[in-house]
Amino acid sequence: MTSISRRRLVGAAFLLPLTHGAWAQLCARPTPRETEGPFFKPASPQRIMLIEPGSKAPRLMVSGRVLTADCKPAANALLDFWHADETGDYDNRGFRYRGHQFTDAEGGYRLETILPAVYPGRTRHIHVKVQPAGGRILTTQLYFPGEEENQRDGLFRADLLMRMADRQQGAFDFVIA
């Protein structure tokens, strides 16, 4: 087979709609777990908007879905987010940049916040705990593509990178085992 026809075949395969089986395989890879780190606090307020009044920090919106291992939307799943502020500090006394929410009927969520700053020893990241209704908690972290520190951070994982439409809009779908 010439390389041209092989390339055509690859292209054709890429254009085929994914069968249900292929989708199921995609979803069969659960989102990896990561350490919660030292700054998790229980009982965060329920809210999707974490931006502090008067904050001039660059905005960040993260959205996506929570899916089960067989690719079904996980409605009413709990997502508890926490991250560093614009100076790289966590609020350990109060609940700045901490909040929990529940997915909608399609498993969708949306977080409106600021871009967390990089702090010493870590690349830019967002912490999250995800728990399907009545299920086990997934603790993990989300990362930003194109960050210099990604390669130097031992916790960084490429499969936890958000898809960024631009600097202010990230997307990530969680798959719960």
Q: Does 37 bind Fe ion (CB under 5 A)?
A: yes
Q: Which is nearer to Fe ion, 37 or 108 (CB)?
A: 37
Of 3-11, 30-38, 107-115, 154-162, the window that binds Fe ion (rule: CB under 5 A) is 30-38
Q: Does 89 bind Fe ion (CB under 5 A)?
A: no
* Residue 41 C-beta: closest distance to Fe ion, Å: 12
DSSP 72-137: -B-TT-EEEEE---TTS---SSS-TTEEEEE--TTSEEEEEEEPPPP-TT--SEEEEEEE-TTSPP
* Residue 83 C-beta: closest distance to Fe ion, Å: 7
Gap between the Cα atoms of 139 and 160, Å rounded: 12
Burial group, residue 66, by CB count within 10 angstroms (0-12, 13-18, 19+): buried
Running DSSP on this structure, what letter comes out for residue 158?
A: G
* Residue 126 C-beta: closest distance to Fe ion, Å: 8
* Residue 131 C-beta: closest distance to Fe ion, Å: 19
* Residue 91 C-beta: closest distance to Fe ion, Å: 12
Length of the chain, in residues: 177
Count of CA atoms in the C-beta half-sphere (13 A) of 97? 26
Q: Which is nearer to Fe ion, 34 or 67 (CB)?
A: 34
- What residues pair up with 94 in beta bridges, in sequence order? none
Q: Nearest residue by C-beta to Fe ion? A: 37
Of 35-43, 49-57, 71-79, 149-157, the window that binds Fe ion (rule: CB under 5 A) is 35-43
Of 23-31, 37-45, 72-80, 142-150, the window that binds Fe ion (rule: CB under 5 A) is 37-45
DSSP-based three-state secondary structure for 62: strand
Rule CB under 5 A: which residues touch Fe ion?
37
